[in-house]
Amino acid sequence: MKTYRYYDLILGAYVCVLLCANLIGAAKETTIDVPLVGHVTFLSGVLFFPISYFFGDILTEVYGYARDRRVVWSGFAALVFAAIMATVIVHLPPSDFYRDKQAAVEAIFGNTPRIVCGSITAFWCGSFVNSYVLAKMKLWTRGRWLWTRTIGSTLCGEAVDSLLFYTIAFGGLWPIDHLLQVTATQYVLKSAWEVLATPLTYWMVGFLKRMENEDYFDSNTNFTPFSLKT
């Protein structure tokens, strides 16, 4: 099996960003005033979660769908473990010294099962849609026009992610208009992040292709998500 210099580092960065965006970013909904637009409400994690799609695009473009698939499963396992760990910690009885802090711990880490389920499901589905679309577009474009597949795949993946997460986590709990507003805002912000990051994506992809001597085309790839083969 071919070895790579930077693959493991990108995998680690990917999982780190994913965990931080879901554990820290999901703890706060914020509203900011945007000139000419007005009040914009979104979960804070939207500022950082798209970085995981940035890494996903790079992994698929350079190393191929199968190697990105292993990274997605690593992120999925990390999210599941983090959810289990948070649940255990929240439900452990506090000591006398920490009794007055229990409410804060529950508020930050005590996500409901619907939010946890929505977050993990949306990530898994959205990430695989993103990787699949990018890999297929690379074949269709014969490796040209990188920006079309990084942006196009993100538009598809983020649409699946946003729709699944908010429907599962908050459907029936939030008013429909608020649910649609936040979902649309999240989607636009995440997609805009990918567009703005295009120059950085070009630089990173070019650097890795040169250093790794790899530019993978998924001509004969089995695109099932239920495999860890490379």
> Which CATH number goes with the domain that contains 97?
1.10.1760
Q: What is the mean pLDDT of the chain?
A: 91
The pLDDT of residue 200 is 96
pLDDT of residue 112: 72
pTM of the predicted structure, to 2 decimals: 0.92
Query: Is the confidence at residue 4, as pLDDT, over 70?
Result: yes
**Residue 147 placed within a domain:** yes
Is 230 among the domain residues?
Answer: no
Residue range 30-89, pLDDT digits in tens? 888 878 777 877 778 788 888 999 999 999 999 999 999 999 999 999 999 999 998 999
- Number of structural domains found in the chain: 1
Determine the structural domain holding residue 80 and report its residue range: 7-35+43-212
**pLDDT of the residue at 94:** 93
Up-side HSE of residue 123: CA atoms within 13 Å toward CB? 31
* pLDDT value for 27: 66
Mean pLDDT (whole number) for 155-159: 96
In a domain, 112, yes or no: yes
Among 14-28, 31-45, 104-118, the range scoring the smallest mean pLDDT is 31-45
pLDDT at 131: 98
Structure confidence at residue 101 as a pLDDT band (50, 70, 90): very high
Decide if 177 is inside a domain. yes
User: Which helix (H) or strand (E) segment is 58 a member of?
Assistant: helix 50-63
Summarize the confidence of residues 20-38 as an average pLDDT: 79
For 57-95, give the DSSP string.
HHHHHHH-HHHHHHHHHHHHHHHHHHHHHHHHHHHSPPP
Please give the Cα distance from 116 to 80 (Å, whole number): 9
**Structural domain includes residue 135:** yes
Looking at this protein, which amino acid is placed at residue 85? M
**Is residue 76 a part of any domain in this protein?**
yes
Residue 222 resides in a domain: no
Instruction: Look up residue 118 and give its DSSP letter.
Output: H
- Residue 144 forms part of a structural domain: yes
